[in-house]
Every structure is written in C-alpha cells, then in structure tokens.
Amino acid sequence: MPWRSTAAKASVRATTADLPGHRTPPRTRADEAIGKGKVELLRQGELGFGLVRRPIEEEALQTATVSDEPLGVVVHRCHQLTSRTTVDWADLSGQNLLWFPDSRAQGYAATILAHLGQQGWTPQAVRTRHTSHAQFVHNLRRSPVVALRSKNAVAGMPELAWLSFATNPPREQLALATTAVGTWAALLEAAAELAS
C-alpha cells in the first residue's frame, strides 16, 4: 500500500533514521491495518511500529508525534465552495461531512467532531468504509459533501480543492506507536529524544 502522506513518511523516516545501533535508516513498509486491528497487532508485538492518529487511549502503547498539521475542507472541483480559498465556520452550515467509521480512530474521531461542534458546525456524518483514493473522489463528486484532510494529504489531486479554515482549524496529529515496554519502546524513546 502506498503511503497516503509523504510528509508523514518523511517524518517517520527522520524520527527513526538515527536509532541507536542502526547503521542505515530502517526499511519502512506501509501495510493496511485500521483502528483496533492495528492497536491489537502492536500490543501483540506482531507489528513493530504503527502510524496512528492522536489522541489514542491505549496505555499499552508508547507514541511519538511525527506530524501535526491543520485540517482543511476538501471538496470536489464541482462543489459550490471551490470559489473560495478559505472558509469560515458559518460557510459550512448545511454541509454534510464525508467521514469514516469511528472505530478506525476513536479518540481522533471524538476529538475532531467535538471541535467542529465547539465551532458551531454539527454536520451529518456520511460514513464510508472505503479507503481508496478513487472511492474518496467518487464520494465527493457524487454527493454534496465535504471532507477534512491535511493539505499534504490531497496535494497533487487536481480534481479536489483544499480550503483552509479562516480561524481555529482542527488538527491532525500522527504518531509513531509501539508497545510501551521492550526494545521497540526504547528505540522509539531514543529516536524521539534525538529528534527534539
């Protein structure tokens, strides 16, 4: 599976590049493991590291932030909001949100939806299980919905428009996670110290 965010991939490689005892940067491979499944693989030690969205409520995991970016509104080029480059929260009144099942990232989903509500936007969530780029674009094109993504996540996608929030954008924090005890945790802690 290709990395969805080149910024996240670069951050992961930078965070792990100087791990003690490694002469070359570690080989990274992205495999699809979502939500609770990924957490379970990490907890069992079947997955050395995993990229997760914060906040994550899992005491058995240790995390280090590798990316912290503001989210913007993503729309298909045929959407009425594409005449703008920024949006106010009031501009989103009546807009439905293309969203994912909360089980994929419960803490993140709850935090983002609470933030939207605090800004006065309580959209109806149109939930989709599809994770492919083609399905994402299709859903944005066929329905009057908006999505939330970081600017890097949709860079190079001419069929989509990314609109920044004029004030108080929600944020996406990606973190590298591993088990809280053991060799991987020590390596993650050492890498985080080197990165800071």
For residue range 62-81, what is the model confidence (pLDDT) as tens digits? 999 989 999 999 999 999 99
Same domain, 61 and 78: no
**Host domain of residue 118:** 69-171
Same domain, 74 and 167: yes
187 occurs within a structural domain: yes
Is a pLDDT exceeding 90 seen at residue 105? no
Q: Which of 11-15, 42-46, 109-113, 139-143 has the lowest mean pLDDT?
A: 11-15
Is a pLDDT exceeding 80 seen at residue 18? no
Is a pLDDT exceeding 60 seen at residue 20? no
pLDDT tens figures, 125-141: 999 877 788 899 999 99
Q: Quick one: angle between helices 183-195 and 6-16, nearest 10?
A: 100
Residue 156, domain CATH: 3.40.190.290
Mean pLDDT of the chain: 84
Same domain, 189 and 163: no
Q: Which of 42, 67, 43 is nearest to 53 (CA)?
A: 67
What confidence score (pLDDT) does residue 39 get? 80
